[in-house]
Amino acid sequence: MSNSFVVAAALLLAPALGAPAPQVTVPASFGPDSQVSASVQPSTSGYMLAYLENGYASATYHGPYTGTPTTTGAANGPTTLAASIPAGPPNPTATYYNTEGVPLNPLPAPYTPAGGLGTNGSLPRYMVNSDFDFESIALGLYQEWIELDLFHDGLARFSDAEFEAAGLGPEARSLIEFMANQETGHSTLLTNMLGERAPKQCIYNYPYTTVREWVDFMQRLTRFGESGVWGFINHLDSREVGQLLAQSIATEARQQQIFRQMSGLTPMDVWFENGWPQSWSWTMLAPYISYCPENQTRLAWQNFPTLHILNNANINRYSPNDTAQDGSETVGPRIADPSVSNLTSGSCQNLNVTGYGCGPAIARNKSEPLSFPGKKVLFQWEAPGQAVGPNNSYVTATTAGAPKFVGWSQQLNLTYSPLTVTGNNTGYTYQPEGYVYGGEGIINGTMAVMLTDLDLFVTPFNTSMLNPHIVALGLYQAG
């Protein structure tokens, strides 16, 4: 975007800020582009870029992997000590309870209550400090790399006219470009905290063909990117790494909200964001990575079989209950594929009716919700053993028995409903009702659902205990 446009935007916004007085005649030009010395820095991207007529750049290839993998399966250590981690009693040192409302222990310094981690004055070390840290941050870096490519790709792929038709003008595109540039900083940060074996950027295979589908895909991808970090950040051995990661993921939360607004969804739909185990987010991310460089650092996390939600609500319909029941209104078979946008009837995209329109907006309310308690939700799930991810070199796997329940992971809860099996890897359930506090419903937004063989009780800090019981994993568009 040119500097002249930035100046123009600033001048047009000025009256709303109180000064100067509104102009009667809009100037035709706003002076020279720049009077500040600058130089163009070379790209640090790890792949070839193509510069399009609209001035944006993207990778020269986006598509499937066509070769033969030279290795398969997740990364492994020297040995595996047990089939799963057994449940244990409460932490014996977690006994503090304050009934006085004042500090109970001597203060180590003025205005400094006793306790905390990393508060003893030691010099911070901003590096991963265990295998758990390394694998978690490496997963985060895979996520940052795809966001860097994805955000740029749509800007380069679609014309100005296509963006305008989707309700996204130059200022919206400028905001997306800024969010793309944020990923340069995020990927640099995580690379530095990992060291020399940090994963490199890959080549990706995207599912969208329209601007609406691109934005919808981004709101889904940033959901599992954000939730995947909330799930592990407080388990990191390195508190210093967790500090910097929190400052990064807070930005991603804003990105997800903005992409929801651009998709015509309500920007905030829950009281609490949900945290996911690493294997959940890796399961959702891996199918969109086609090629990675030779000697790429591999991940240890599990890839679950895909759970297809056949009547996942189409966000582009003014009546989401009219979504087809056979999965045909999702653009493809991958786990986070967006809703089909080129509808022949029932589209809300250009409908300027409160409660039914879904064009980009600061906020939207749905007169007919995308989902509701009691909705019959139809499932089809894949068998394990499917090749997925970079170079088709990872394999989906499960250690669970036959599916009996549907797990709904949102806000502070993991809620179950019974699964009715209707055929070979097909079944249904009814969306359950439940509340967090007061009248706030648990199920909303873009969220994880899974088939399990057990209705295991888990809480936000130990959700990964459910992994051995997951048959298949999906992404549900509840609101």
Distance CA 297, CA 343 (A): 41
123 or 71, higher pLDDT: 123
Q: Which of 72-86, 225-239, 344-358, 363-377 is predicted least confidently?
A: 72-86
Q: Which of 460, 273, 269, 285 is nearest to 371 (CA)?
A: 269
What pLDDT score does 143 carry? 98
Share of the chain above pLDDT 70, in %: 89
The answer to whether residue 444 scores a pLDDT higher than 60 is yes
Residues with Cβ within 8 Å of residue 75, at least 6 apart in sequence: 135, 297, 298, 299, 300
Q: What does DSSP say about strands 307-309 and 289-291: parallel, antiparallel, or unpaired?
A: unpaired
- At position 59, the amino acid (one-letter code) is A
- At position 314, the amino acid (one-letter code) is N
Confidence of residue 61 (pLDDT cuts 50, 70, 90): confident
Q: If you average pLDDT over residues 39-44, what whole number do you get?
A: 40
Confidence of residue 59 (pLDDT cuts 50, 70, 90): confident
Confidence of residue 81 (pLDDT cuts 50, 70, 90): confident
Distance CA 182, CA 419 (A): 42
Q: Which of 136-145, 174-183, 197-206, 439-448 is predicted least confidently?
A: 439-448
The answer to whether residue 362 scores a pLDDT higher than 60 is yes
Confidence of residue 51 (pLDDT cuts 50, 70, 90): low
CA 59, 60, 61: angle at the middle one, nearest 5? 95
Residues 279-329 have pLDDT tens digits of: 999 999 999 999 999 999 999 999 999 999 999 999 999 999 999 999 999
Q: If you average pLDDT over residues 51-76, what whole number do you get?
A: 81
- pLDDT, the chain, mean: 89
Confidence of residue 37 (pLDDT cuts 50, 70, 90): very low
Residues 263-274 have pLDDT tens digits of: 999 999 999 999
User: What is the SS3 string spanning the chain?
Assistant: CCHHHHHHHHHHHHHHHCCCCCCCCCCCCCCCCCCCCCCCCCCCCCCCEEECCCCCEEECCCCCCCCCCCCCCCCCCCCCCCCCCCCCCCCCCCCCCCCCCCCCCCCCECCECCCCCCCCCCCCCCCCCCHHHHHHHHHHHHHHHHHHHHHHHHHHHCCHHHHHHCCCCHHHHHHHHHHHHHHHHHHHHHHHHHCCCCCCCCEECCCCCCHHHHHHHHHHHHHHHHHHHHHHHHHCCCHHHHHHHHHHHHHHHHHHHHHHHHCCCCCCCCCCCCCCCHHHHHHHHHHHEEECCCCCCCCCCCCCCEEEECCCCCCCECCHHHCCCCCCCECCCCCCCCECCCCCCCECCCCCCCCCCCCCCCCCCCCCCCCCCCCEEEEEECCCCCEECHHHCEECCCCCCCCCEEEEEECCEEEEEECEEEECCEEEEECCCCECCCCCECCCCEEEEEEECCCCCCCCCCHHHHHHHEEEEEEEECC
The answer to whether residue 77 scores a pLDDT higher than 60 is yes
The answer to whether residue 57 scores a pLDDT higher than 90 is no
Confidence of residue 27 (pLDDT cuts 50, 70, 90): very low
What pLDDT score does 53 carry? 66
Cα end-to-end distance, the chain, whole Å: 33
Distances 431 to 93, 326, 329, 466, 478 between C-alpha atoms, Å: 39, 18, 20, 20, 10
What pLDDT score does 32 carry? 44
Burial 153-173 (b: 16+ CB within 10 A, else e): bbbbbbeeeebeebbbeeebb
89 or 303, higher pLDDT: 303
Confidence of residue 227 (pLDDT cuts 50, 70, 90): very high
- Is 291:391 a contact under the CB 8 Å cutoff? yes
Q: If you average pLDDT over residues 456-462, what whole number do you get?
A: 96
CA 285, 387, 336: angle at the middle one, nearest 5? 30
* 267 φ/ψ angles, rounded to the nearest 5 degrees: -70, -35
Confidence of residue 34 (pLDDT cuts 50, 70, 90): very low
Share of the chain above pLDDT 90, in %: 78
